[in-house]
Amino acid sequence: LELQLSRLDRLNLVGQMAASIGHEVRNPMTTVRGFLQLLAKKPALASYNEYFKIMTDELDRANDIITEFLSLANNKLIHLKSTCINDIINTMLPLMKADAAAGNKDIIADLSNIPDLALDEKEIRQLLLNLVRNALEASPAGGVVYIRSFYDATNVSVVLSVTDEGSGIAPEVLKQLGTPFLTTKETGTGLGLPVCYSIADRHQAGIDVTTGARGTTFFVRFKISPAISPAS
């Protein structure tokens, strides 16, 4: 019997495992971090400050990975509220721009009039952040990342897109995009996109990608009821 798990099944499996062990692993890590900080304040150990910084940074990184794990849990409670995606983008923009500027890159938002959607704001923030992070990481120095929102009348949907000027996604990576732990980065977790797919699923949204040597665009398509027309 050949057991084939769909991408969704695999995500759910990872999510359930994460939900059950995530918190348990976090508690001892918090204890270790606390004692490390205590030791770091001892004048006698001042010469080890650099090591303490590395240790707490690495603990924080492990903690981030657990956070990403937990957002894959399929039994997550979702809090839907009528929200305009543009508001979410505008709220996050200064923070994302600062992040971009630190790497000598820029982010430009090009937002059009779109109707509100039933969204979990926290989740959409994370979805956007993960896509923008990848876009910035793929960008060359001086590169620009474009965040767009628009109404797609043909498909009666609202589209959120993130475009970069990177060198694209290799075919063998593209084929498996969204698989947990798939990463081409030295310090990548390979959990950013799985989290995006999982959030999109919970919003009945679809994600598709166009990629080539001149850059990549991720499109997140949110279906809206045909009765709702775009705000004028």
Among 23, 42, 79, 185, binds ligand ADP (CB under 6 A): 185
Our finding on whether 189 is near ligand ADP (CB under 6 A) is yes
Instruction: Give residue 193's Cα distance to chain centre.
Output: 6
Our finding on whether 192 is near Mg ion (CB under 5 A) is yes
Our finding on whether 194 is near Mg ion (CB under 5 A) is no
Name the segment binding ligand ADP (CB under 6 A); options: 70-78, 90-98, 161-169, 219-227: 161-169
Among 169, 200, 205, 224, binds ligand ADP (CB under 6 A): 169
Our finding on whether 139 is near Mg ion (CB under 5 A) is no
Q: Which amino acid is at 33?
A: R
Rounded to whole angstroms, what are the CA distances from 92 to 44, 83, 85? 42, 14, 11
Task: Name which of 127 and 224 has its Cβ closer to Mg ion.
Answer: 127
Contact status, residue 59 vs residue 33, Cβ threshold 8 Å: yes
Q: Give the C-alpha separation, 138 to 132, whole Å.
A: 10
Q: Give the C-alpha separation, 144 to 104, whole Å.
A: 10
Among 12, 71, 126, 134, binds ligand ADP (CB under 6 A): 134
Our finding on whether 192 is near ligand ADP (CB under 6 A) is yes
Closest CA to 225 of 208, 207, 204: 204
Our finding on whether 120 is near ligand ADP (CB under 6 A) is no
Q: Give the C-alpha separation, 227 to 225, whole Å.
A: 5
Our finding on whether 215 is near Mg ion (CB under 5 A) is no
Our finding on whether 134 is near Mg ion (CB under 5 A) is yes
Q: Which amino acid is at 61?
A: R
Among 36, 70, 129, 182, binds ligand ADP (CB under 6 A): 182
Q: Which amino acid is at 100?
A: A
User: Which residues of this protein are in contact with Mg ion, per CB under 5 A?
Assistant: 134, 192
